[in-house]
């Protein structure tokens, strides 16, 4: 019991710290971790109590996790409360997180550089600056195509990852 709690706690804090390194709010990551190791679906109060965060904060974290697509709502008959479950497959989870990060981090950058490049096309501005923009654009477009191909579906992504992983293992 005590041991269970200790390792569970460690899992939650480890995942929280990882989230923080990855630009994900620590509370969001802790809520996610709690749901990942929970035997049964948890409600807002369970989460708020267990992690010692306000109900308001817990609600925001759940909203965020729903946006990431890594948790599921599960209502029980005769109960008005919402309960939440974590997506079960770690790889699916990983891919969804990468997909959401692409949407937040790469897409706006691609858009922004595309736009400035188009605007400055024939305006006689410094060739070095234009060349830089053009290189940036090419790089971002390449990364974008790669990411889109890889992330097309959860299944494709899992297959690609497994293939790459085996290629790497093989070489050793």
Structure tokens given for 73: 């709502």
Using the minimum distance from each CB to DNA, give the nearer residue, 109 or 139: 109
Binder to DNA among 3, 5, 39, 52 (CB under 7 A)? Answer: 52
| Region binding its own copies by CB under 8 A among candidate stretches 46-54, 61-69, 75-83, 127-135 | 127-135
Residues 88-117 that bind its own copies (CB under 8 A): 90-91, 94, 104-105, 108-109, 112-113, 116
Q: Give the ranges where the chain is alpha helix by DSSP (H).
A: 2-21, 26-37, 44-51, 55-68, 90-101, 107-119, 127-151, 154-171
Cα 31 to its chain centre, rounded Å, is: 14
Cβ 39 to its own copies shortest distance, Å: 6
Task: Return the ∠ at Cα 44 (arms to 40 and 45), rounded to 5°.
Answer: 90
Q: Considering CB distances under 5 to 8 angstroms, the limit depending on partner class, which of its own copies, DNA, none binds residue 27?
A: DNA
Q: Is 18 in the site for its own copies (CB under 8 A)?
A: yes
| Region binding its own copies by CB under 8 A among candidate stretches 12-20, 43-51, 58-66, 69-77 | 12-20
Q: Considering CB distances under 5 to 8 angstroms, the limit depending on partner class, which of its own copies, DNA, none binds residue 82?
A: DNA
Q: Is 4 in the site for its own copies (CB under 8 A)?
A: yes
Task: Return the ∠ at Cα 94 (arms to 89 and 97), rounded to 5°.
Answer: 125
Q: Is 45 in the site for DNA (CB under 7 A)?
A: yes
Structure tokens given for 80: 């008005």
Q: Is 159 in the site for its own copies (CB under 8 A)?
A: no
Using the minimum distance from each CB to DNA, give the nearer residue, 63 or 104: 63
Structure tokens given for 14: 């480890």
d(C-alpha 62, C-alpha 69), whole Å? 10
* Buried/exposed 58-80: b ≥16 CB within 10 Å, e otherwise: bebbbebbeebbbbeeeeeeeee
Q: Is 82 in the site for DNA (CB under 7 A)?
A: yes
């Amino acid at each position: 019991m005590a041991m269970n709690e200790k390792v569970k706690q460690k899992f939650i804090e480890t995942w929280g710290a990882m989230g923080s390194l990855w630009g994900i709010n620590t509370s969001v990551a802790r809520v996610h971790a709690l749901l990942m190791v929970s035997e049964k679906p948890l409600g807002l109060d369970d989460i708020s109590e267990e992690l010692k965060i306000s109900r308001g904060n817990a609600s925001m974290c759940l909203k965020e996790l729903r946006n990431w697509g890594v948790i599921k709502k599960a209502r029980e008959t005769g109960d008005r409360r919402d309960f939440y479950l974590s997506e079960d497959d770690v790889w699916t989870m990983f891919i969804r997180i990468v997909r959401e990060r692409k949407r937040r981090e790469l897409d706006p950058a691609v858009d922004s550089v595309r736009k400035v490049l188009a605007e400055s096309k024939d305006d006689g501005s410094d060739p070095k600056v234009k060349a830089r923009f053009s290189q940036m654009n090419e790089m971002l477009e390449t990364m974008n195509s790669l990411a889109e191909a890889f992330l097309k579906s959860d299944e494709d992504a899992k297959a690609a990852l497994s293939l790459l992983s085996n290629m790497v293992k093989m070489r050793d």
